[in-house]
Amino acid sequence: MGSKQTALAQDPATAPAPPKVFDKPWRNTPWGGKDELLEDLRAYVPCNPDIDVRILLDGPIGAGKSSFINSINNVFQNKITMKAQVDSAMADKSFTTTYKTHKIENRKTGSYYRFVFNDVMGFEKLSGKGVHEDDLIKALRGHVKEGHKFNPSHPLTEGDVGYNTSPSPSDRAHCLVSLIPADKITVMDDDVIKKMRAIRVVASELGIPQMVILSRVDIACPLVKENLTDLYLSKYIKELMEKCSIKLGVPVNCILPVRNYHEEIDLHKDMDVLLLKALKQMVNFGDDFLKAMEQS
């Protein structure tokens, strides 16, 4: 018996390493379905034709909020664009300083699609740096006027030039999307996480749906960098999504990984599919919120 047990036992030093990939993708992705996703989003009309779905983006500095807007615009314009200004040299400082609505143009008609984005300053751990929590809460409620310049040390107050006293339903945020860099989840500062969770609590109280975009997945995982379609085969990416879920309190099915355009000069269909899948969920969530507003 002893010799049999010895024969069955393996030396940990010589045992094969556990596989880094799953046997099959753990989430279905329509890698060949770019055209269908694109047409569906192009055809979207809100339940209230007077209101566009407003998607408010937040996240730490360097998460890729502006790059995400540009990436979405790339897909719809079928070319590389620079709609939201970014600065790769400002990794420790937010390049976004004003509250601006970004619309996606339909080049055939000259009109705009029925969803818009608002980008804000990134969160920083230090007091007086990055977007102030109170300003983001006011943006959720629609109290921040277009073009308002954020002041990290002095949040917007009633009576200020940039304060919208009587926000309409279209001024409010209809979906809150937090962008988190996949390669920095494990080292994210606790103070930044606390700020983001505090915003989520307020959004929940207002009934605003929330989701997370996990950016920089290609930087976080060599397997994904080599082949983006292996994204949902990567055990490491799934572990990062689960850690993100625990840190922010967002269900894993509300976390969507993407790869933003940052070094490419041509479009990539697999990148586009992930971006469009993420946008589709944002629009769906926002539309559900608009319907709830109509019924209340």
pTM for the whole structure? 0.89
Query: Does residue 234 fall inside a structural domain?
Result: yes
pLDDT reading at 22 higher than 90: yes
Structural domain including 98 reads 41-295
Query: Does residue 19 fall inside a structural domain?
Result: no
User: What average pLDDT does this structure show over 213-241?
Assistant: 97
Q: What CATH number should be reported for the domain holding residue 128?
A: 3.40.50.300
Q: What is the pLDDT of residues 233-268, one digit of tens each?
A: 999 999 999 999 999 999 999 999 999 999 899 999
What letter represents residue 118's amino acid?
A: N
Query: Read out DSSP for 63-84?
Result: S-HHHHHHHHHHHHHTS---SS
Query: Does residue 17 fall inside a structural domain?
Result: no
- In 3D space, the residue among 93, 111, 124 whose CA is nearest the CA of residue 195 turns out to be 124
Q: How many domains does the chain have?
A: 1
Query: Does residue 281 fall inside a structural domain?
Result: yes
Query: Does residue 35 fall inside a structural domain?
Result: no
Query: Does residue 185 fall inside a structural domain?
Result: yes
Q: Which long-range contacts (CB under 8 A, 24 or more apart) does 101-105 make?
A: 101/54, 101/146, 102/69, 102/73, 103/52, 104/72, 104/73, 104/76, 105/76, 105/77
Query: Does residue 29 fall inside a structural domain?
Result: no
Query: Does residue 120 fall inside a structural domain?
Result: yes
